[in-house]
Amino acid sequence: MGGVVKSIEEINRRIAAGEAVVVNAEEMIAIVEEKGPVKAAEEVDVVTTGTFAPMCSSGALFNLGHPSPKIKIEQAWLNGVPAYGGLAAVDIYLGATALPADDPRNKVYPGTFRYGGGHVIEDFVAGKEISLKATGYGTDCYPRRELETVITKETVNEAMLLNPRNCYQNYACAVNGSDRLIYTYMGMLKPELGNATYCSAGQLSPLLNDPYYRTIGVGTRIFLGGGIGHVISHGTQHNPCAPRGPNGVVTAPAGTLAVMGDLKQMSPKWLRGVSMVGYGASLAVGIGIPIPIIDEEMARFTGVKDSEIYTEVIDYGLHYATGGGEPLARVSYAELRSGTITIRGKKVPTAPISSYSKALEIANILKEWILSGKFTLSTPVASLPGPESGYSPKGMKA
């Protein structure tokens, strides 16, 4: 390891003094290429990353405040979308993929899923009035059995974005090798490898710039939905033991983050309801994570570029649903971004689901926040399980 070693405290002092050098992960590529990782680590203090894409494992936790007489909410609906009431009296959790009872789903195939939990969250953050209906069974302390009112971000006590799995470190590229058109969470896939979709910001993506979770950990302060949030844990299905290339970068879906933040300070620009035809509703979440360049290795990691990041091409028509089959190919993000990949000799057009231009916008906003002194870096209070942990997700017997 080179001689440069900086502490996060030192970087924060430079931020406070207005002396920090902050660049986004795209700019860092050229700096590392030109100057090498040692010099880059000396010169750059922070690299900002970003991602903006549908992230289904997202939701909002509300404390609604007590009406008079009080109610112990058992079932609740926000704009007709069911929320989970199995918590204390007026705490409810709304999942991003929840759908109103009267949505026809895929009964008329493919369903369009125009309004679900993610859309309620977007409307709430936008300051709109949200209708609340709730029922309870009545107790001596909570006698009310029905409730019908309107809530806004002004009326509720807490509104927290609480997402169990966001920010996937790499994701598969989806194709369809079957002979019929299919609709998936990766979008519409035409038969016989008619098109390919992918969902990662690649060289801008947070965990692809810190492949071994050296700086991103529990307690890391982040840009979340336009406000400030935190990493609260590794996410569900965290898989640090996924295969890695010689540069340490995972070549399949791997690490994940659980994140949380105050919904009231977020923006509908960075939390957007999503309707995936034939699949369901979701929430697109904007996340930006600063990476402190504490040494030469972090400079090298953040200098990673699309041509050095690979992912697997998975057949969602034949293999994904049952979990069998081998990846059809391994492709780089540079190839994916070019618009065409080659699978089994066939040229297949590609399209992203993750917005690269919005990811870049987020990385630049975070950069501005840090340069202006509004946002400082935090030292994680615990590390995420890394490849040495042996931690990996299991399947289910069913």
Site of interaction with other proteins (CB under 8 A): 52-54, 110, 112, 114, 187-188, 190, 195, 197, 272-277, 282, 284, 337-339, 349, 351-358, 360
CB-based burial label for 132 (10 Å; 0-12, 13-18, 19+):
buried
Shortest Å, Cβ 135 to other proteins: 31
- Which tokens is 161 given? 């974005």
Shortest Å, Cβ 353 to other proteins: 5
Q: Cβ distance 105 to 99 under 8 Å? A: yes
Shortest Å, Cβ 249 to other proteins: 20
Closer Cβ to other proteins, 178 or 195, answer by number = 195
The set of long-range contacts for 373-377, using a CB threshold of 8 Å and a minimum separation of 24, is 373/15, 373/16, 373/18, 375/221, 375/223, 375/228, 375/290, 376/12, 376/15, 376/16, 376/221, 377/8, 377/11, 377/12, 377/15, 377/46, 377/221, 377/290, 377/292
Does 199 qualify as catalytic in the annotation? no
Shortest Å, Cβ 334 to other proteins: 10
Q: How far is it, in rounded angstroms, from Cα 262 to Cα 229?
A: 7
Closer Cβ to other proteins, 73 or 283, answer by number = 283
Helix (H) or strand (E) holding 281: strand 280-288
Q: What secondary structure does DSSP assign to 282-322, as a single string?
A: EEEEEEE-EEE--BHHHHHHHT--GGG-EEEEEETTTTTTT
- CA-based diameter of the chain, in Å? 72
CB-based burial label for 138 (10 Å; 0-12, 13-18, 19+):
middle
Q: Which of 56, 141, 173, 241 is catalytic?
A: 141
Closer Cβ to other proteins, 176 or 209, answer by number = 176
The set of long-range contacts for 146-155, using a CB threshold of 8 Å and a minimum separation of 24, is 146/71, 147/67, 147/71, 147/73, 149/67, 151/62, 151/64, 151/78, 151/124, 152/124, 152/127, 152/128, 153/124, 153/125, 153/127, 153/263, 153/264, 155/64, 155/65
- Which tokens is 75 given? 């079932």
Shortest Å, Cβ 149 to other proteins: 28
3-state helix, strand, coil in the chain (%, to 5): 20, 30, 50
Closer Cβ to other proteins, 163 or 197, answer by number = 197
Closer Cβ to other proteins, 212 or 356, answer by number = 356
Q: Across the beta sheet with 22-24, what order do the strands follow?
A: 22-24, 46-48, 290-292
Shortest Å, Cβ 315 to other proteins: 17
Q: Cβ distance 330 to 312 under 8 Å? A: yes
Shortest Å, Cβ 184 to other proteins: 12
Shortest Å, Cβ 159 to other proteins: 22
- Which tokens is 260 given? 């949380």
Closer Cβ to other proteins, 2 or 194, answer by number = 194
Closer Cβ to other proteins, 294 or 336, answer by number = 336
Closer Cβ to other proteins, 253 or 286, answer by number = 286
The residues carrying an active-site annotation are 141
